Amino acid sequence: MNAPEPFVPPRWARWPHVQTILAHLIPSPTPESPWRAESLSLADGDRLALRIWEGCNSTVLFLFHGLAGSADADYMRRTVALGLARGWTVVAVNHRGSGEGRGMARRTYHSGATGDLAAVLAWGRERWPGHRHLAVGFSISANMLLLLVGRDQHLAQPDLAIAVNPPGDLEAASRRLRQGFNRVYDLRFVKRLRRLAEELGGRSLPPTATLWDFDEVYTAQAAGFRDRLDYYTRCSCGSHLAGIRTPTVILTSEDDPFAPASDLGPVSPAVRLHVERSGGHMGYWAARPTPLGSRRWLDYALEVCFRESYLSTTSRTGSSSSS
C-alpha cells in the first residue's frame, strides 16, 4: 500500500486560512454510535473523561483533541467513525476540564502533558491486554504525542503514533498567532481557555489577551514552568523527533498558518513524515471526493495510515513524492 494520494485543494480554496476555516465550518454528519462514559483517575487526583466504543477485534484506537477542543470536536467524531468501521475499540479522551470532564480537574492540560497521555495508554494496556494500541493526536495533542514517543520513552507508549499538524516550535507558533489573520484563531483559543482557567482559579485576562499572554500569566505558572519561554522551550516536540523509536506517522502541511512543517526538526527512521504543500491547519478540503467518498482528505489519509501495510513502512516521504 502506497502513501496517501497528494492533497489537491479547489482553486478557490488554496489560501491556507480558507482551508483551516472551511474544514471546521462545513458539517460532516457521522453515524451516531452509543458510547460509554468512564473517568480515569490521575496520580494527582484529577480525572479525565473518556468516551469508549467497544469493538470486535484486537485493536484499540486512542484519540486526543486539539487546543480548547473536546471529544465532541468534528475531526474527533469523524476519526471515531473510521475506527468503528474497522471494528476497533475507540477511546476518545477529553483533556483535563474539557468536554464531559468539566469540573473533574483542578489543573489544566498543556503542550507538554505527556503524563496524561501515558496514563491513558497504561490504563488501556491493562484494560485490553494483548491488543494493538494506536494513538492519534491532533494539533496540541500531536505535539504531546511526539514528545511522549520522542522524549519520554520511559512512560507508556503506543504501538503506533499518528500526529496531525503538530506545532513543532511552540514559541514560533505563539508568535505567529499574534500576527495578521491568525489573530482570529488566537482569539478563539483564548476565549475558550480563559473560561477554563477562571473555573480553575486563574486570574481573568482582558478581552484582547493573546495566547502569548495567556501562557505567561496562566499556563506556565499552573504547570510549574519558570515562565512562558521556559514552557515553550521544554515542551516543543520539534527537537525530539530524531530520537523516536515507536513507529510514527506525521501528517502536516507546508502552509499551516501557525504550525508549518518547517518548524519540525530532523526525524528518526521510525518516523514517516508526510508533508502536503497545502491544507492549512487540519483543513485539507479536497477539490474532488477522496476514495472514501468525501472531500475530507485528512480522513482519507488517516484511513490509509490505519491499513496494516502502511503501518510497517518507516521511510521518510514528502508530499508530491510519496508513492
How long, in residues, is the chain?
Answer: 323
Torsion 93-97-99-101 (CA) sign: positive
Residue 36: pLDDT over 90:
yes
Each residue of 123-179: pLDDT tens digit? 999 999 999 999 999 999 999 999 999 999 999 999 999 999 999 999 999 999 999
Q: What is the pLDDT of residues 161-171, one digit of tens each?
A: 999 999 999 99
25: CB partners within 8 A, 6+ apart: none
Return all residues near 306 (Cβ < 8 A) that are at least 6 apart: 82, 83, 86, 134
User: What average pLDDT does this structure show over 246-258?
Assistant: 97
Q: How confident is the model at residue 200 (pLDDT cuts 50, 70, 90)?
A: confident
Per-residue pLDDT, 308: 59
pLDDT at 207: 81
- CB 170, CB 111: distance < 8 Å: yes
122/128 Cα distance (integer angstroms): 10
Tell me how crowded residue 182 is: count the other CB atoms within 10 A of its CB. 19
Write down the pLDDT at residue 205. 78
Q: What is the dihedral of CA 15, 294, 141, 180, to 10 degrees?
A: 20
Q: Highest mean pLDDT: which of 29-33, 188-192, 200-204, 254-258?
A: 254-258
Terminal alpha carbon distance of the chain:
9
Architecture label for domain 11-168+247-311: 3-Layer(aba) Sandwich (3.40)
**Which of the residue ranges 24-33, 98-107, 259-268 would you say has the lowest mean pLDDT?**
24-33
CA dihedral sign, ordered 67, 71, 72, 75: positive
- Banded model confidence at residue 314, pLDDT cuts 50, 70, 90: very low
What average pLDDT does the chain have?
92
Share of the chain above pLDDT 70, in %: 94
CA 173, CA 191: separation in Å to the nearest integer?
18
Please give the angle made by the CA atoms of 221, 224 and 228, to the nearest 5 degrees: 50
**Residue ranges per structural domain of the chain:** 11-168+247-311, 170-235
Contact 181, 270 (CB under 8 A): no
Phi and psi dihedrals of 138, rounded to 5?
Answer: -110, 130
Beta-bridge partners for 94: 49
pLDDT of residue 316: 34
